A and B are shown apart, each in its own frame.
Chain A
Amino acid sequence: MGKYLVKRLAASLLTAFLASMLVFLLVRLVPGDVVAQMMGQAGGETAANALREFFGLDQPIYMQYLAWLMKVLQGDLGVSWTRGMPVTTMIGQAFLVTLEIGLLTLLVATIIGVPLGILAGIYEGRPLDTAIQSFNILGLAAPVFWVGLMLLVAVSSLFSWSPPLRYVPPTRSLGDNLAILALPILSLGLLQVAAYSQFVRQNVVSALHQEYVRTAIAKGVPVRIIFFKHILRNVLIPIITFMGLILIQILGGVVIIESLFALPGLGRLLLTAIETRDYPVLQGALLIVVVAAMVVNLLVDLAYRLIDPRVRVS
């Protein structure tokens, strides 16, 4: 276990390092920097050059990268070029918003998606299964942001209610916070419910066709016991892996949902940073996204090994 963990961590760190390099290069290979944007038409060459020197943009790229990397390793992501705030503070605030959305979506999706999948699997081939499967495929085919738009329309025309425009943190008012997050979570959740229930259904169906289940049925074991002991136990393990996948998907999905519902999360921070060419913020936000995805993967791997002894052996 220890050896595996070290190997796995080393591989993740290397990938994160290469990803940060890729991001750094990509951002800088493109014409037009923050200075050009700040100066606009006004200002002369000297002023622009002075600004470039101030931001360190006059250095060769690899020097810029090394300087940035050294600071990152010390936990310093630099200062935003457009807002003058420490990037770590900005990302910290935004990350909390995204984390709340992500975890609540995961919760909602699990609570609805898993039972739906189990139902569909148990009633394989019957009308209920067909109905749930049709819902799933519709949920998977619908663009997330479009679902959000349609929910917005539906809610405002049915209940003449629309979510507050300004974000309220849960620490100030939990009720207002949830009112704001309800629609984003629902629209992100629909896709995940569909994905979940489809995945769980497949696992239930394949567990039902296992020989030990058939034997148990033949022996006359009560259905309830078969369900809890044989099916549910075998379905729970893949669900944990799937949770990780879903969480990473949500991480991607929030970019659009946050921009649609004007939520000050990581996704919107990323988009604004791209628009204003605020390199430190962009690099920092991307790094956090990549690291977050890696941590999720790592946790899933570890959980998997802890729960399923078969994985440990192989």
Chain B
Amino acid sequence: MAQYQNVATPENGSRKEPHLQPLLLRMARREPGLLLGLVLLVFIFLVALFPGLFTQASPYAVDVNAAMMPPSAGHWFGTDDTGRDLFARVVYGTRITLAICGGSLLISAFFGGLLGLVSGFLGGWVDQALGRLVDVLLSFPPIILGVIITGVLGPATVNLILALSIVYVPVFFRIARAGTLSEKDKTYVEAARSIGISEPTILRRHVTRNVMPLILTQYMILFPLILQIQAALGFLGLGVQPPTPDWGAILEQGKDYILYAPWMSLFPGLAVLLAALSLMLVGRALQRRIDQR
């Protein structure tokens, strides 16, 4: 190796390896929002994956003697009406809340995306019928749709996931359909067709691959919104039921004590805000990339 070291190549001086540090610095200068969002998001994911690293307390341990204590060194976020440590509840709630929201959104991205792709690709009466159905779903404000479904089916985690999955299917459907419509007349599709590739393969291998980035971006954009809907449904008592430490459920519990123990509502709400904020910052940066393309 050593013998080559002195050989001067034209790239030697100008080419730089992409180091992590300059990358972060450049990002901080050009897109401070994205950097902040990513840092927050990584932190939130760490909390979701390893809650035990952040707190020793149990989110379920009741201590009636320490009920409704304001935040202190022992209980950073204070305690709730049964003396449970709110910091532990918010920390352990991260995984539950994110899993429910992320999972539901994944289900709607899958079904909405699939239907949108097929609808846009096939056109004709399939497209007409599906488009009509989506119009009907879109005629309800999202939160109201969520309230009806969970309200009618009854408060349970499964129903919550079902409701949250349905709410944004129309949005994914529209995005995927529009993307498919603009892709399907492109030259590469024509070329694929002319060399005898079957329609399902074209849809799967060519069109889908180009529509995927749109769906992924939409996923990031809708994630903060679904977090808020989930929290709202939880707050109305239609979401995850106590004693599970879901953020919305904690907020619902704090509702009755809002003037006596505001910390019961402050911290879980702040958690929703921070999670939504980090996702929004990252989602916006992604959207800008897509728009620039």
Q: Taking beta carbons and an 8 Å cutoff, which residues of A are in contact with B? A: 11, 14-16, 18-19, 22-23, 26-27, 30, 137-138, 140-146, 149-150, 152-153, 156, 162, 248-249, 251-253, 255-256, 259-260, 270-271, 274-275, 286, 289-290, 293-294
Please state if B148 and A23 are interface contacts (CB–CB under 8 Å): yes
B1 in contact (CB, < 8 A): no
Can you offer 22 A-B residue contacts whose CB atoms are under 8 A?
Answer: A18-B132, A18-B136, A19-B140, A23-B148, A26-B148, A30-B152, A30-B153, A141-B273, A141-B274, A143-B273, A145-B235, A146-B269, A146-B273, A149-B254, A152-B259, A153-B265, A248-B141, A255-B236, A256-B236, A260-B255, A289-B140, A290-B139
Interface size on B, residues (CB 8 A): 40
Which of A19, A146, A289 lies in contact with B272, CB distance below 8 A? A146
Within 8 Å CB of A260, what residues of B?
Answer: 235, 255
Nearest neighbor of B227 in chain A, beta-carbon distance = A143
Q: How far is the CB of A95 from chain B (nearest CB, A)?
A: 14
Within 8 Å CB of A27, what residues of B?
Answer: 152
B228 in contact (CB, < 8 A): yes
Q: Taking beta carbons and an 8 Å cutoff, which residues of B are in contact with A? A: 33, 132-133, 135-136, 139-144, 147-149, 151-154, 224, 228, 231-232, 235-236, 251, 254-255, 258-259, 262, 265-266, 269, 272-274, 276-277, 280-281
Within 8 Å CB of B235, what residues of A?
Answer: 143, 145, 256, 260
Determine the main DSSP class of A at the interface with B: helix
Question: In the complex, A249 Cα to B229 Cα: how many Å?
Answer: 12
Please state if B265 and A149 are interface contacts (CB–CB under 8 Å): yes
Question: In the complex, A248 Cα to B251 Cα: how many Å?
Answer: 25
Within 8 Å CB of B274, what residues of A?
Answer: 141
Most buried by B among A143, A251, A252: A143
Most buried by A among B33, B149, B262: B262
Please state if A146 and B251 are interface contacts (CB–CB under 8 Å): yes
Nearest neighbor of B152 in chain A, beta-carbon distance = A30
Within 8 Å CB of A14, what residues of B?
Answer: 132
Question: In the complex, A27 Cα to B152 Cα: how many Å?
Answer: 6
Q: How far is the CB of A314 from chain B (nearest CB, A)?
A: 18
- Other than the given A153-B258, A270-B147, 11 more pairs (CB < 8 A) read A14-B132, A19-B140, A137-B281, A140-B280, A142-B269, A143-B276, A153-B262, A255-B144, A259-B236, A274-B152, A293-B141
